[in-house]
Amino acid sequence: MAIKQNFNFTKEGFENLGKELQQLTNRRPIVVKHLTEAREQGDLSENAGYHAAKDELSQLDSRVREIKYLLRIGKVVESNGQEQVGFGSKVTVEAENSSKQFTIVEQLEADPAGGKISTSSPIGSALLGRKLGETVEIETPQGKTIFKIIEIT
């Protein structure tokens, strides 16, 4: 019995996967050409160029399969309507006299440096379901932080 997983994406995240797939598809003929050229150089057992091109093609093909799978079973989920923090919400919080903005996404789309935090991260899970004006105490690797939700979009 196969287990079907669903992956939620923001519209931007889903579109970015499509763009990445297109870039990889465009790159594949170049990698195949490098592999062919390296193969023509003779002894494959000591041909570093051949092995590098072969590894790159394998990684590229693996990522293409993964993206196609995610695009096939993934679905775009819009923000829940700004009443409370949910998947896709952009949340502005105030902590220690500064404000930060986070977008709540699933783990596959998370990019903490870019302000996209996972629903399963300490901050993301603590913010889920919270409303405007609420204060949330979150245990992070840097210690306890208190966030006040000042905007949800």
What is the per-residue pLDDT for 43? 67
Tell me, yes or no, if the pTM score tops 0.85.
no
Parse the chain into domains and list their residue ranges: 7-76, 90-152
Q: Decide which of 3.40.190.10, 3.90.1150.10, 1.10.287.180, 3.40.50.150 is the CATH code for 7-76.
A: 1.10.287.180
Q: What torsion do the CA atoms of 125, 129, 135, 136 make, to the nearest 10 degrees?
A: -20
Please tell me the distance from the alpha carbon of residue 12 to that of residue 18, in angstroms, as a whole number: 10
Average pLDDT, 10 consecutive residues per value, the chain (153 residues): 69 93 97 89 76 93 95 82 83 90 92 93 92 90 88 89
Q: What would be the CATH architecture of the domain defined by 90-152?
A: Roll (3.10)
Contacts of 101 (CB under 8 A, 6+ apart): 90, 91, 92, 93, 115
